[in-house]
Copies of this chain bind each other. A is one copy, B any other.
Amino acid sequence: MTQTQFRYCGLNVALKTLTGKWKPMILFHLFRTEEIRFNELWRIIPKVSKKVLLQQLGQMEEDGLLTREERKGFPPEVYYRISEKGRALGSVLAQLEAWANTYAPQQVQQVFDSEKHVQPFD
């Protein structure tokens, strides 16, 4: 028997930092690319508006999940990358992913299908 112990306060905090329509996808890309420019991300993520993407990134920076670096110059570029704190979530996110694939495969498939016609990435 798995005697799992948790309180809800930390859980609340953790879920609040993860909640946002585009955050799972942003995290996904941050985990796979090591560093990514704003416009790259914007082009990769299907249908998100510039404002909202910006604001989700802003929240994630506030929450310390990622770092934002302005490299000034020509066209001034901004690089986002996963932080220590964000990276520490990796295994948990993978487990959430696994849980959904095990216990709700049809819904996962639906999400997948609803996006594949929009974005053929990989």
Binding site for B on A (CB under 8 A): 2, 4-15, 17-19, 24-25, 27-28, 31, 63-64, 85, 87-104, 107-108, 111-112, 115
- The 15 sampled A-B contact pairs (Cβ below 8 Å) are A2-B90, A7-B28, A7-B97, A8-B28, A9-B97, A9-B111, A10-B98, A10-B99, A10-B108, A12-B25, A15-B18, A15-B24, A63-B104, A64-B103, A91-B95
In the bound complex, CA of A112 to CA of B76 (Å): 42
A2 to B108, CA, bound (A): 25
Contact A92 to B99, CB < 8 A, known contacts A8-B24, A12-B24: yes
Residue of chain B at shortest CB distance from A92? B95
Contact among B15, B25, B104, B107 for A8, CB-based, below 8 A: B25
- Report how far A5 CA is from B5 CA in the complex, Å: 26
Bound-complex Cα distance A39 to B10 (A)? 25
Known pairs A8-B28, A11-B27, A13-B104; list 15 more (Cβ under 8 Å). A4-B31, A6-B28, A9-B97, A9-B100, A9-B115, A10-B96, A10-B98, A10-B99, A10-B108, A11-B24, A11-B96, A11-B100, A13-B108, A85-B103, A92-B95
